[in-house]
Structure 1
Amino acid sequence: MKTRTPPDSPDLFADLPLLPDFSIETRARHRGIWPVAGTDEAGRGPLAGPVVAAAVILDPDNVPAGLNDSKKLSLKQREILFEAIMAAATVSIASSSPRHIDLVDIRKASLDAMRRAVAGLPVRAHHVLADGRDVPPGLSCSGEAVVKGDARSVSIAAASIIAKVMRDRMMARAGLLYRDYGFEVHAGYGTERHRGAIASHGPCPLHRMSFRPLRVEAD
């Protein structure tokens, strides 16, 4: 009797390495495709703030130790690795504003930020590894969607760290400007404190009005 693995089974990615590695990039390099950039975004889920994307081309001879999915790292680890990546790699950062997110939807805004991050690299990438199931449209080179990419590719992991740290810093600055919302604490995610602040003060210009519960309040 044949059996199949359920779609939500954790065994689907049981063969993932314990840490992301350089194997996908190395295979491309052996085929004469280089440089390879990894790209990822941070901030798809929050109720406020931009979505931030980064593109990173790592130096094969100088890959910072400890690269991993940004969500698996502590704040201190992310900050240390951010500085190491910026010092050793080629990096570009782009963002899509809350207004743009509301205009086109979060998926399209995220992919567009990733595309612009790649386009902003001072060294032209010949291939792009994009975290997730979609290749950003409009790339000037070939692209490859890598599911669970930040756990498989160090280039994507590096991009996830850069995007996460940069977005957190942006939201900390936003907290100084819009002091009623606590952006420096929750980075715009829908925490109880944040939802309470919206209920008390209404939305501010950084809120994504197409997201619930803001969309309901705006109707």
Structure 2
Amino acid sequence: MLPASHPLLYACVFRDTHLVAELDHAHSHSQSTATSADPVASDAPSPAPDDDLPALAAALVAAAPPHHRHLTHTAAGRAHALLLSPPLALAAVSRAPHLPASQLLLFLRRLRCLPEARMRDEMPRLALRLPLPPGDDAREANEVAAAEAHAEEEAARRDADLAARTTPKRDRASHRGRAGPSWTWRRQLWMVILADLLLLTILFAAWLAVCRGFSCIGR
């Protein structure tokens, strides 16, 4: 759980409709406290109660437009970000402008690079790295590109693992046997045996021709 002063309000990860991980915010201070702590907060609209954030994030995921990789929106003093990487959907809500939608999307991309089993534990650590220091746009762009590349590699690896698990064991064993060195050795052995049988057949036929059948045995 994040401290009350952190601008990230809520984050979650869905696999299809199943909630994989979420990060709650310890928002116990009043709006007046936030205003006194940061002069910029006095210009921003008052945020809505935080108890609707899980439902709001679920609604963002459910209403995600098709054929989109990400979606950002800022309204009512909040920044919203949605990252789609089927079968995963990652959503986050923050206070704007303290944590803008671009940095919120970067947080989701970093989170997407993690294995699902570690997402819940790593969410606070990644959130505490935000916002990025001013003037760090170049590093942010490089990290975004690296995060996307890593996410694509992980997705390809999971697809390959899924395809391997769905392949029948008999087909996999047959494929491994044909491609392995044991199959090559057995094929060569059968070729030698067939060549020997062919040679013996020729010799036997020649012997029968010379002896004119089995007359040599009677002698």
After TM superposition, is the score higher than 0.5? no
Greater relative contact order (CA < 8 Å, ≥ 6 in sequence)? 1
TM-score normalized with structure 2 length: 0.25
TM-score normalized with structure 1 length: 0.25
Q: Which has the higher helix share?
A: 2
